[in-house]
């Protein structure tokens, strides 16, 4: 469910992983009908999925579209309490980004912790399904006992302009985790994912630049997602920097125990997930779990993780590196972390 919408689709507008407005104009020379079919298939693959079904618990009418209030606030609507052990709560922590940064790996690693209960799928509540209301959102969450943390991850939140205001409306104390990765390799990985679903897609450089190798096309979301400093500017209007933890996607591969340890510290958890839980899978090129939750067998992420990237000319890669450099440096200054991408 990591895909996002075509231009103009979904609550996040054009922030997702679809092609930019000029995509069709930059398609390879081909009959008009073939070009239209390719573009249509691309949009169909990227179009937002439906909101996930709510859990089978009674729920009141949805909260107002733009101003739902968190439980505990005066006048907040009554919310359902699940039967059985524990109860459904709003997430105290969210993995809000970024797509193709390593968010799925981080979530699966954290789910090894006995005090973390996380929704497996991406609910897309704060970008696509917000009109369903907070009661519906809470009904999706797993039951937790006192002392356990409820989490969910939806990478498109980080690039959705309305998401930080909406999350603050749920709870201003929410902890926010952002997994970031070199924006150039992130963009190529994003493209590779879409290409696997739409083989007739124009080349990476045809989408990344206007007029051949002209200006970088920031209207294409695979490029725009990597402007981390711009997106963080929007979040800092609603949350202080102390509410964020920025996880390196590269170090999540090279030192998963170290990065997961930082996350456990940030969440106020004991460091239960350690290096004993990981081994490096040379075939896939990233860490796997020695023992998955509820299983006696080692487990790696799915086939879609670690897929080979298409070959991109070095001149294209270098131009993108030059383009991102000032944005990266601003991001380093904002977060107080040098991710070493330059």
Positions marked active-site: 100
Rg of the chain over all Cα atoms, to the nearest angstrom: 20
Residue at token pair 């920031």 = 218
308 belongs to an annotated ligand binding site: yes
189 belongs to an annotated ligand binding site: yes
160 belongs to an annotated ligand binding site: no
The C-alpha atoms of residue 142 and residue 119 are separated, in whole angstroms, by: 6
Length of the chain measured in residues: 342
254 belongs to an annotated ligand binding site: no
102 belongs to an annotated ligand binding site: yes
Helix or strand or coil: residue 340? coil
The C-alpha atoms of residue 1 and residue 177 are separated, in whole angstroms, by: 19
121 belongs to an annotated ligand binding site: no
Helix or strand or coil: residue 186? helix
Query: Exposed e or buried b for every residue in 248-271, given b needs 16+ CB within 10 A?
Result: bbbebbebbbebbbbbbebbebee
Please state whether the peptide bond connecting residue 280 to the residue before it is cis, i.e. omega within 30 degrees of 0.
no
The C-alpha atoms of residue 287 and residue 275 are separated, in whole angstroms, by: 10
The C-alpha atoms of residue 166 and residue 137 are separated, in whole angstroms, by: 12
3 belongs to an annotated ligand binding site: no
309 belongs to an annotated ligand binding site: yes
Distance in Å from the first CA to the final CA of the chain:
31
Binding residues: 100-104, 181, 189, 305-309
Binding residues for 3'-phosphoadenylyl sulfate: 100-104, 181, 189, 305-309
């Amino acid at each position: 469910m990591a895909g996002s919408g075509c231009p103009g689709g979904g609550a996040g507008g054009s922030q997702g992983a679809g092609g930019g407005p000029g995509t069709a104009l930059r398609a390879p020379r081909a009959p008009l009908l073939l070009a239209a079919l390719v573009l249509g298939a691309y949009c169909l693959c990227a179009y937002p999925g439906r909101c996930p079904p709510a859990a089978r618990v009674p729920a009141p009418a949805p909260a107002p579209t733009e101003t739902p209030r968190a439980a505990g606030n005066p006048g907040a609507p009554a919310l359902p309490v699940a039967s059985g052990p524990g109860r459904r709560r709003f997430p105290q922590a969210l993995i809000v980004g970024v797509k193709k940064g390593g968010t799925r790996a981080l979530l699966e690693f954290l789910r090894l912790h006995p005090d973390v209960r996380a929704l497996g799928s991406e609910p897309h509540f704060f970008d696509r399904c917000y009109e369903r209301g907070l009661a519906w959102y809470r009904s999706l969450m797993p039951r937790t006992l006192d002392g356990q943390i409820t989490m969910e991850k939806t990478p498109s939140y980080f690039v959705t302009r309305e998401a930080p205001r909406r999350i603050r409306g749920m709870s201003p104390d929410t902890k926010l985790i952002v997994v970031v990765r070199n924006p150039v390799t992130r963009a190529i990985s994003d493209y590779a994912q879409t290409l696997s679903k739409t083989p007739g897609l124009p080349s990476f450089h045809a989408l990344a630049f206007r007029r051949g190798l002209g200006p970088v096309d920031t209207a294409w979301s695979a490029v725009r997602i990597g402007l981390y400093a711009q997106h963080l500017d929007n979040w800092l209007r609603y949350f202080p920097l102390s509410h964020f933890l920025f996880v390196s996607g590269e170090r999540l591969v090279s030192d998963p125990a170290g990065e997961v340890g930082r996350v456990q510290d940030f969440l106020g958890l004991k460091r239960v997930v350690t290096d004993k839980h990981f081994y490096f899978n040379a075939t896939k090129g990233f860490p796997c779990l020695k023992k998955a939750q509820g299983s006696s067998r080692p487990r790696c992420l799915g086939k879609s993780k670690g897929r080979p990237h298409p070959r991109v000319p070095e001149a294209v890669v270098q131009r993108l590196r030059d383009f991102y450099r000032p944005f990266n440096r601003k991001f380093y200054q904002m977060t107080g972390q040098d991710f070493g991408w330059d």
